[in-house]
Amino acid sequence: MTLDIHTLFLVTTYVEAILGLLLLFAWAQNMALRAVCWWGFAHLIRLSSIALFGMYGSIPDLVSIDVSNALLFTAYAATWTGARVFDGRPVEPVYMVTGAVLWLLICRLPVLADHANTRALIVAGIITSYIWLTAYEFWRGRSEPLVSRWPAIIMFFAHGALFLLRTPMIALLPVAANSDGVFGSVWMTVLSFEALLLTISSAFLLLAMAKERTELRHRTAAMVDPLTGIANRRSFMQDAALMGKQHIADPRPTAVLLIDLDHFKSINDRFGHTLGDRVLEIFTDAARKSTRGSDLIGRLGGEEFAAMLIDTNRDKAVEVAERIRESFAQMAQEVDGRAVCATVSIGLVHTEAPALDLPELLAQADQALYCAKERGRNRVEVASLDMIVARPTAADAAAAIGAKTATKSAAQSAA
């Protein structure tokens, strides 16, 4: 079997069918990946276009050329739509069929009836537009850390450029001896082979992107609090530990905040857990607006949050904590039409030590938070030596309870 246009035609037919079914099978395994479904049907639509084109001469030109090209445009439009769906953008039904409708109208014009090269340029222009639009959609979502996205962008852009050059290259470069029209062009064979390779490569790149997206979301789900969208306890501790290692190489003043919503159980009891969840979301919004992008914020569990402020002096840290407290009190004054009047208490510890002992800093911030609660709540307290000395430890409390129990038992025995 020689590598000519006829052989490539048959190979392309089989490849389009296999790739289309492969993508649809991948979608059936995870129907949340709707973009993969669009890409699978794009290959099957392109297969039907190639099949009609292969019947050229045995069926009317209206079907083998005009309808075939209309289906081809729809296939590339489906690929573009899949790229939009992949990044959460809406389907555009009108633009999906614009290329096909425009072609069917243009090819009916008598002035273009005998201008095959012009018609071929129009075909190439429409296809290139959809391919470049696909590359653009992927580029728009470049903020998502998917390694496969960038090769896909480059490949679709290059594919569009080569497709646009295909018609002038075939027209200008020599045709093989004993040619039978366009099928006899050596360059048609070369460019068709290039298109086949890019079709296969792009299909596997799209599958890789979908797989990478799924894995990324699974990793993110394990590290992000699903309600508030900020770091969960595990993620906060890991990120804080990493910041602690970086701090050793470049020590900077650091503050740790431990934050607790006041009387949160009472809010849930009075207004329900749905509104309680809204209060947590409102606090997260207030905290984000009151801190820098470089600051670390996490939900440790329930109504308890923590923040780590790097390169922040003591006065600035207190100012940030007060801003969080005041902003939240204002935003949570009324929630969904209910007078909630939620507040927070904040314990703060500040250090300029060359190494960060995160467990110790959190323990000191917790002692400051305890003082804030004891002194009336809705306030910021900064950890000090007096707090550390004044607050009894768990061991002291247990010893006191044991002594009290022993005294009571002795009194009962004496009685």
Q: Minimal CA–CA distance to 299: which of 242, 259, 262, 265?
A: 259
Between CA 330 and CA 321 the distance in angstroms is 14
Integer-rounded Cα radius of gyration of the chain: 33
194 carries an active-site annotation: no
Between CA 266 and CA 52 the distance in angstroms is 70
Strand ranges across the sheet with 380-382: 296-301, 304-310, 254-261, 344-351, 380-382
Asked if 41 contacts 24 with a C-beta cutoff of 8 angstroms, the reply is yes
For the CA atoms of 307, 310, 313, 317, what is the dihedral angle to 10 degrees? Answer: -20
Out of 16, 137, 303, 381, the active site residue is 303
Q: Minimal CA–CA distance to 10: which of 18, 353, 234?
A: 18
Q: Can you list the positions of beta strands (E) in 162-295? A: 254-261
Between CA 348 and CA 320 the distance in angstroms is 10
Asked if 228 contacts 307 with a C-beta cutoff of 8 angstroms, the reply is no
Query: Which residue is listed with tokens 């909630």?
Result: 340
Which residues participate in catalysis according to the annotation? 303
